[in-house]
Structure 1
Amino acid sequence: MLLDTYGRTATDLRVSLTDRCNLRCTYCMPEEGLDWLKKTSLLTDDEIVRLVRIAVTRLGVTEVRFTGGEPLLRPGLVSIVARCAELEPRPDLSLTTNGIGLERVAPALRDAGLDRINVSLDTIDPEVFRRMTRRKRHDDVLRGLAAAREAGLAPVKVNTVLMRGVNEDEAPDLLEWAMENAYELRFIEQMPLDAQHGWKREGMVTAADILASLRTRHTLTDEGANERGSAPAERWLVDGGPYRVGVIGSVTRPFCHACDRTRLTADGQVRNCLFAREETDLRAALREEGSDDERVAELWRAAMWGKKAGSGLDDPSFLQPQRPMSAIGG
């Protein structure tokens, strides 16, 4: 098992398939993009599947989420999903994507064994989308969402980040749009993981701000936020149900005490926390001549054993990770 010194067990694996992305969201990366990882440094499809197999069969992982960058840019995505779905015991398989290209591949992902999907969309206004992402792809995302719903990848979850002076006034409209389309909306506080290191706490739209905005039109009933365990989202019934909305307050309402995640970057580094500044190289172990699965598993266990009690966001000495979110994986 992937235990740490605080008694937590990691059963949820986040696997980044690429650091590349076809959007340039202002809270993530600069307009010109970033220096992408070299192809030779990326894990191969076989290496990804091997690491997932080690995690599932030797380390107690039960949930695997594929992320990026933008995972739909990974040519072998469908095959990776299919091969992971054949593992015993079979893990729960999910994907986080910006939705561009999802219209084409959603049925194939379902047939490969994908169980659930999250699509990032911060606005229902095409012009605001263009300003936030620096791309005119709003319609592509909407079509991708509809295709995922029609393919049966339910519940289709929509991840939204609100920014002051940009889209912070859209919270109620986004919720009503999501309910009309049978999507489950989850607001996420903006986190200090931008490549530009321009995040400032005082400029963040907080979970409290989001809930206050939603309550201008709707009644929210707490589903038991204090009992959410390792789930990142506090969930609320909207107007008595059945629809729900989630709020992930990673900064102001952290859930570190029950975190059950372990993270694998596209170049094969284990991160025991989203905000960690240290990594453990599994790629090198995989590529050593004669390397065996137990050697890799031991390195992974050691990496998780050293996990800190919390993210450190409340510490005045907090420093952002050197890698931005696009290179870490969501």
Structure 2
Amino acid sequence: MGNSLPHANVLQDPHGRILDYLRLSVTDRCDLRCSYCIPKGFKGFEEPEHWLTFDEVERLVAAFARQGLKRVRLTGGEPLLRRDVTKLASRLHQLPGITDLSLSTNATQLVRFAEPLAAAGVRRINVSLDSLDKGCFEHVVGRNVFDQVMDGLFAAKAAGISPIKINMVVMRGVNDHEVMQMAEFCLEHGFILRFIEAMPMGETGQKASYVPLQEIQSNLISTFSLQPTVAELGGGPARYWETADGKGQIGFITPMSQHFCATCNRVRMSVDGTLYLCLGQEHKFEFRPLLRGGATDDDLDAAIHEAIAIKPAKHDFLEAPKKILRFMSQTGG
């Protein structure tokens, strides 16, 4: 990983939160159509000429790193659809100040990419897996690729990528009956499981059947004798519990029922260079015009602080569930 910067600045927003985590979208395209994300038949993807080039991405991430950024997660859409994404990963891995490089994926491409990703410096991955039932899985993602995803998941494990986290969006009447089965599967194979509450992002997310995770948490804690843990498992918003032997972890991400806005440490960059300061708000800052308009490094540094200054205190998912019209893939994971 890139060299540390002992005298690095600190990115602090107006609410006193330290921001050290960038979720970086390298494409808004995806080869699946998950029911809570991209609508079937959607055609409104960003034009390729608007995508940040790898040189622009590297320059921008380096600027964030100068200001205190430590963690970068490659997201999408499906990031493995971006040509030569492992080359970008390698470049970001070597940047001074970046100490944690990870990737979120649906795993359809992982058989081919697991070893190159590990070689490029990606140490951790999150895999979206909402069902272990082939029929239910196809219903959620829109394609019959369950076996492909499972092969990719175990290819990543064989490549030495660790930890591997499984993300399950729990939806009432869709997959909520599989909670125990998914927990058993992940604990058996050494994957960290995170249950996620569906968020009202765009038309698809607003139609998802949100389940407050408190409904399933107590049963999981009792069944698997889980204990709360404060272990640092990647800098994200999950609240983790672990088995008595400390070998298995289950996390709960609750943006709806118990929001974690007070401890938010992240911002999101879309493929076109738009920095979104919050998933549940419209606050944003456009970096592409600066990158293509001759901005100096000092200009970028100043722009980053200008952007962070507009980060809102919290989202309004409960108060205004119809507010966010953009899809999750347009924001970036």
| TM-score bin, normalised by smaller chain | over 0.9
Counterparts of 2:168 and 2:317, CA distance in 1? 21
Match of 1:169 among 165, 177, 180: 177
Kept in 2, the 8 Å contact 1:263–1:272? The answer is yes
Which residue does the alignment assign to 1:146?
154
Deviations 1:204-242 (A, max 9, x none): 1111023144256332222259x9996411111235542
Which residue does the alignment assign to 2:311?
307
Counterparts of 1:69 and 1:85, CA distance in 2? 21
Which residue does the alignment assign to 1:66?
74
Kept in 1, the 8 Å contact 2:194–2:251? The answer is yes
Instruction: Tell me by how many angstroms 1:4 deviates.
Output: 1.4
1:291 aligned onto 2:295:
yes
Which residue does the alignment assign to 1:217?
223
Counterparts of 2:90 and 2:247, CA distance in 1? 33
Which residue does the alignment assign to 1:256?
261
Match of 2:113 among 102, 105, 109: 105
**TM-score, with normalisation over the residues of structure 2?**
0.92
Instruction: Tell me by how many angstroms 1:197 deviates.
Output: 5.5
1:257 and 1:230, CA in 2 relative to 1: closer, same or farther beyond 3 A? farther
Q: How many residues align?
A: 324
Match of 1:42 among 38, 48, 51: 51
Kept in 2, the 8 Å contact 1:271–1:303? The answer is no
Which residue does the alignment assign to 2:329?
326
Instruction: Tell me by how many angstroms 1:297 deviates.
Output: 2.0
Kept in 2, the 8 Å contact 1:251–1:313? The answer is yes
Kept in 2, the 8 Å contact 1:230–1:259? The answer is no
**TM-score, with normalisation over the residues of structure 1?**
0.93
2:174 corresponds to which letter in structure 1? Answer: V
Which residue does the alignment assign to 2:189?
181
Instruction: Tell me by how many angstroms 1:30 deviates.
Output: 1.6
Kept in 1, the 8 Å contact 2:37–2:205? The answer is no
Counterparts of 1:147 and 1:119, CA distance in 2? 12
Kept in 2, the 8 Å contact 1:162–1:189? The answer is yes
Which residue does the alignment assign to 1:198?
206
Which residue does the alignment assign to 1:207?
213
Which segments of 5 or more consecutive residues in structure 1 lack a partner in the other structure? none
Counterparts of 1:272 and 1:154, CA distance in 2? 29
CA RMSD of aligned residues (A): 2.0
Which segments of 5 or more consecutive residues in structure 2 lack a partner in the other structure? 1-9
Counterparts of 1:133 and 1:303, CA distance in 2? 34
Which residue does the alignment assign to 1:235?
240
Kept in 2, the 8 Å contact 1:193–1:321? The answer is yes
Counterparts of 1:237 and 1:61, CA distance in 2? 29
